């Protein structure tokens, strides 16, 4: 009788957790897509950073190329957010929902960055090359945003570690 009670308790625990192989596969797919999105956003930002760095160094930059690079980045955070929101995930698993929320916060931050970059590009277009004071102002804006992004990425990485622990169970 004791072993039956333990067995029923174990079954009850499994039903409470409710983690199936489909849940784990959905979590893996969510994680894989998050990694792909982060890589795509990083790659998309390289041409913009190249042109922006010239301007930040006090050199003339190709404003048309800078605007074009920004235009290629601009739709990505919203597009990726829409895709990511539609991915199935086990809603009853805290590690997965926390990771998903952190990724959505990261994408929201990327959208805010794009909005900030639009303002910077307009400044660069009006003042090419930028004077020292303007470049310092822009650098301060970037540092502020960089600190926020770093915090968001640290949170995302922490949640990813928890997700991986969940997947190892």
Please state the pTM of the whole predicted model. Answer: 0.80
The answer as to whether 1 is a domain residue is no
Q: SS3 of 53, please? A: helix
The answer as to whether 65 is a domain residue is yes
The DSSP 8-state label assigned to residue 91 in this structure reads T
Q: Which domain holds residue 102?
A: 21-168
The answer as to whether 10 is a domain residue is no
* pLDDT, tens digit, 9 for 90 and up, residues 156-167: 999 999 998 888
Q: 80's torsion region: left (phi>0), alpha (psi -120 to 50) or beta?
A: alpha
The answer as to whether 118 is a domain residue is yes
Residues 6+ apart with CB under 8 A from 90: 18, 19, 20, 23, 24, 26, 27, 96
* pLDDT, tens digit, 9 for 90 and up, residues 109-146: 999 999 999 998 998 888 888 788 988 888 888 888 88
CB neighbours (10 Å) of residue 113? 19
The answer as to whether 122 is a domain residue is yes
How far apart, in whole angstroms, are the C-alpha atoms of residue 91 and residue 26?
10
The answer as to whether 2 is a domain residue is no
Backbone angles phi, psi at 89, to 5 degrees: -155, 155
How far does Cα 10 stand from its chain's mean position? 38
The answer as to whether 98 is a domain residue is yes
Query: Count of domains in the chain?
Result: 1
The answer as to whether 4 is a domain residue is no
């Amino acid at each position: 009788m004791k072993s039956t009670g333990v067995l029923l308790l174990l079954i009850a625990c499994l039903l409470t957790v409710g983690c199936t192989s489909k849940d784990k596969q959905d979590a893996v797919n969510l994680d894989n897509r998050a990694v792909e999105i982060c890589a795509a956003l990083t790659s998309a930002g390289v041409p913009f950073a190249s042109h922006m760095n010239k301007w930040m160094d006090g050199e003339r930059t190709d404003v048309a190329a800078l605007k074009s690079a920004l235009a290629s980045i601009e739709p990505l955070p919203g597009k990726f957010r829409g895709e990511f929101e539609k991915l199935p995930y086990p809603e009853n698993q805290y590690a997965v929902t926390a990771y998903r929320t952190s990724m959505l916060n990261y994408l929201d931050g990327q959208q805010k960055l794009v909005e900030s970059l639009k303002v910077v590009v307009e400044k660069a277009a009006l003042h090419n090359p930028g004077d020292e004071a303007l470049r310092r102002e822009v650098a301060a804006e970037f540092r502020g945003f960089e600190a926020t992004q770093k915090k968001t990425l640290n949170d995302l990485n922490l949640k990813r570690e928890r997700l991986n622990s969940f997947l190892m169970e």
